């Protein structure tokens, strides 16, 4: 049976992107692989802080309904003329991707890539931090393996591994690996001798207070290294301040504080999948009080948060990127992500001519 044809529509302005949000949200809800990082609640506030005047997002439409979406833009470094087609969220987001309805075909995703690359002036297309199950990655791999289309004909096309993320099972505290379980229980008992220890989840009335505590503790931690940390960037702060209430109302935010009596000693900023099989919670930023380092507030925060996630029906805890030492202690499994780089056809040709001339 012939599939209905699709049309590709480019969104070029912030106003067009904002108007697309209701359709974007419906599409995101239908995509069982979509993470909170592809939601409009996460990416539209990001774009408002870090975007420019070269939005190049592609909507795949069938009979007027969005069945696919590739949120990209052109980034040009101030010291270079080279234009890079990059996904929204790049640099501050650990998983990047498009959003696709179940009926969106791989060939149609591939067509949207070609539409994007053919309609937007750029030098390099780079889709990075794609999960191993990404349909966008599958589309580009399929074209490469069959040797068809300009995706595969570019001489500079390459698929490589990006920085991986670390995962573990969401379990109750008593089910943690033996060493970390003993540590968590030992420091929990020590803390409880000092006062009442509890993990409190932010709601609409107090998320700003929790976020300010996260900023304060994060700054203290990084100051010990002589650095400012990511939350020293006011654009990052404004992005999170716009995104957090949206994520909270959508049920995607888990902003939690570990309190000893009424004092916050650690904070976790995390995102959570909507209810689905193999639900995942993503630990995005943690911070703890250096004044309470002898109680290991970071260990306690993670242990309590993992247990809370298990109670909520979460299957997987994803600690995202980075090779911090504590991830080895927690028996994390490293999962790969992938990057696809394609040079624009004209640039690829010029590159080939330069090689031949050499």
Q: Could you report the per-residue pLDDT of 168-191, keeping only the tens digit for each?
A: 999 999 999 888 999 999 999 999
- Dihedral, CA of residue 225, residue 231, residue 236 and residue 242, to nearest 10: 170
pLDDT confidence of residue 82: 79
Report the candidate in 19, 38, 7, 5 with the shortest Cα–Cα distance to residue 250: 38
pLDDT confidence of residue 354: 41
pLDDT confidence of residue 267: 98
How does DSSP classify residue 159? Answer: E
Residue ranges of the chain whose pLDDT lies below 50: 1-2, 145-156, 347-358
Burial 54-74 (b: 16+ CB within 10 A, else e): bbbbbbbbbeeebbbbbbbbb
pLDDT confidence of residue 3: 57
Q: What residue ranges do the domains of the chain occupy?
A: 7-164+337-357, 171-314
9-54 pLDDT, tens digit each: 999 999 999 999 999 999 999 999 999 999 999 999 999 999 999 9
CATH topology of domain 7-164+337-357: Aminopeptidase (3.40.630)
Q: In a 10 Å sphere around its CB, with 0-12 CB exposed, 13-18 middle and 19+ buried, how is residue 219 labelled?
A: middle
pLDDT confidence of residue 266: 97
Same fold across 7-164+337-357 and 171-314: yes
**187 within 8 A of 300, measured Cβ to Cβ:** yes
Q: What is the largest CA-CA distance in the chain?
A: 75
Backbone angles phi, psi at 144, to 5 degrees: -65, -45
pTM listed for this prediction: 0.90
Distance CA 107, CA 121 (A): 23
State the DSSP string of 73-91: EEEE-TT---EEEEETTTT
For helices 297-311 and 178-194, the axis angle rounded to 10 degrees is 110
pLDDT confidence of residue 151: 46
CATH topology of domain 171-314: Aminopeptidase (3.40.630)
């Amino acid at each position: 049976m012939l599939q209905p044809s699709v049309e590709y529509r480019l969104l070029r302005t912030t106003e067009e992107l904002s108007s697309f949000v209701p359709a974007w949200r419906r599409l995101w809800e239908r995509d069982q692989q979509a993470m909170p990082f592809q939601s409009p609640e996460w990416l539209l506030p990001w774009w408002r802080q870090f975007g420019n005047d070269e939005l190049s997002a592609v909507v795949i439409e069938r009979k007027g309904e969005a069945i696919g979406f590739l949120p990209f833009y052109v980034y040009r470094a101030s010291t270079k003329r080279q234009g890079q087609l990059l996904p929204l969220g790049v640099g501050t987001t650990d998983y990047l991707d498009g959003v696709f309805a179940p009926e969106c075909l791989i060939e149609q995703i591939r067509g949207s890539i070609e539409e994007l690359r053919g309609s937007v002036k750029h030098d390099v297309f780079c889709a990075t931090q794609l999960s191993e199950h990404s349909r966008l990655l599958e589309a580009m791999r399929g074209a490469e393996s069959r040797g068809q289309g300009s995706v595969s004909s570019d001489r500079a096309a390459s698929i490589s591994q990006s920085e991986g993320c670390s995962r573990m099972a969401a379990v109750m505290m008593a089910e943690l690996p033996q060493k970390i379980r003993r540590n968590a229980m030992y420091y929990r008992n020590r803390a409880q001798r000092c006062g009442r220890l509890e993990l409190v989840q932010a709601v609409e009335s107090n998320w700003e207070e929790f976020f300010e505590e996260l900023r304060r503790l994060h700054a203290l931690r990084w100051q010990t290294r002589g650095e400012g940390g990511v939350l020293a960037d006011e654009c990052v702060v404004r992005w999170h301040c716009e995104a957090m209430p949206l994520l909270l109302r959508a049920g995607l935010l888990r902003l939690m504080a570990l309190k000893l009596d009424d004092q916050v000693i650690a904070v976790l900023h995390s995102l959570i999948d909507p209810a689905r099989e193999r639900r995942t919670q993503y630990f995005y930023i943690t911070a703890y009080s250096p004044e309470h380092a002898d109680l290991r507030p970071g260990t306690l925060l993670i242990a309590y948060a993992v247990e809370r996630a298990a109670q909520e029906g979460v299957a997987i805890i994803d600690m995202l990127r980075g090779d911090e030492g504590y991830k080895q202690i927690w028996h994390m499994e490293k999962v790969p992500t992938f990057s696809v780089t394609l040079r624009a056809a004209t640039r690829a040709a010029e590159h080939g001519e330069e090689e031949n001339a050499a």
